Structure 1
Amino acid sequence: MPYQQYNFKPQTFDAQKKRPDLRLLYISHSSYDKTWPSVLHSHPFTELFYVLNGTGTFQTETQTFCIAADDLILINPHVMHTEFSNGDAALEYVVLGFEGIAFETDGHAPITCLCKNVKTIRPACLFYTRSLIQELHDRKENYVEMSQNLLENLLYLIRREIRVTPEAVSVGKTSQECRMIEQYINAHYAETITLDTLSALTFHSKYYIAHAFTKYKGISPINYLITRRIEEAKSLLEHTDFPVAKIAQAVGFSSQSYFSQAFRRETTLSPDAYRRQFLS
């Protein structure tokens, strides 16, 4: 093979363009079939949703579209969204959460949620997402710097492929403890959770947690927990024939009567009346 050399010609640095204060929050790898209940939710940060296998439906407050392998969805902050698996095959996907940037079109038109198929760069997407998972799992020396660089490289690749522009957005003074509480409740809503539980989780007093979370979310942590349980219960009432007592237990209520009272307070309907709306 003849000798080849490619000289690097960096672009002139523009001091006016500051590097975004991009920060990786998490990466998750999930696989759910059609029985998994999912509800609309939002985050105060940006998410990248990459489908590995299976088919499903992605939904926002204004859009509903089909998704399949190698579809990549960009979800800007505060956009309500959820996903559902189609058929018996599980929908397998990776989700990255990060703050510091949001996306808009190359023409600087704002977007809420954008879906593009990126089959042509599948090997690179798999490399970066798997490498990120490995780095955060192993937590070896300099894993933070490695993870940040992997995320930036992935976003540069996406920018090149689907022609979107990442724009810096200010990262508010959102309490890390409040984000931790929100994520904990979302993951463990079916378990017994009290202010004592959350106090032990964050090493802060119950008073501080109640006050800080209410300021962060606009709702107290216990009321957020109840609302989260009610949303899951609504999905089960709509999509299953489970008895009301079983649903109450499945979403974390201590009794059917307490569940019915909370459900009526949130929806003005009893669980049975709510279910009847969806019977054919």
Structure 2
Amino acid sequence: MNLTLQYIGKVLEQPDWNFPAHRHQHFSELIFVTKGEGVVTIAGERYAVQEGDLLVYNKGVMHEEYSSQNNPLALYYSGILHPAMEMLIPLECCPVMKTKEHKNTIQSLFDLLFEEAQHKRDQYQQATQQLLAVLVVWVHRLNKENTTLNKVRDAESLAIGIKEYLDIHYLRHLTLQDIATEFHLNPYYISHVFHRKYNDSPINYILNRRMAEARQLLVSTKLKISVIAHLLGYENANYFTILFTRLMTESPSQYRKRELRERINL
């Protein structure tokens, strides 16, 4: 694999420990949490981390760490040069992995790696290379396990999260790129995951959400159509009327008259 250990160190349960946002252009980092909990931000995404988590910071990716004051982090951190590989894991994969029943194995590898680097005994460089090779194999195994176990659940959770975001921000003129930027994912994946869950596109969902609000306002208030259009983010009332008519097959005024005629208010 042609791996080289650049450095290895420990953080030992320091309540106020944090490391501001930074990146490494030429090597990646592996972090193993041995105790405690904290929050890390990787490529703009926040993750809660705890004992047994293995973190992968690909080279060039921004990251920062913050320890919990009540349950401070203890961890190993290591810098790895890997010229034969562009990334340790693909960028679309989750950089925080649960080691679960493999926790002791991963901890033993870091313990040995730290010991070899610390004492620099005869042939320690070969030893660190071999230990790194085993560790990277475990990174790939855990990445595969985590991806397989969480793929469906994570996609569904993401779709629900997108819907919640749209329900809050449906009055904004969002583009698919805006939504993708908010979730730090590409627009195609956002659209794919949302459609698989709700059989609709995010942008069409926003439109239908606005029209549902419009129907509610038309029958529950006496507001002018131009005012309703403005409340829903449409500066041009005629454009709002065209959209409403296209979706509801009748104009806002026709809808209001029909609904009020059929509705019994107490």
TM-score using structure 2 length: 0.49
Larger helix fraction of residues: 2
Larger radius of gyration: 2
TM-score using structure 1 length: 0.47
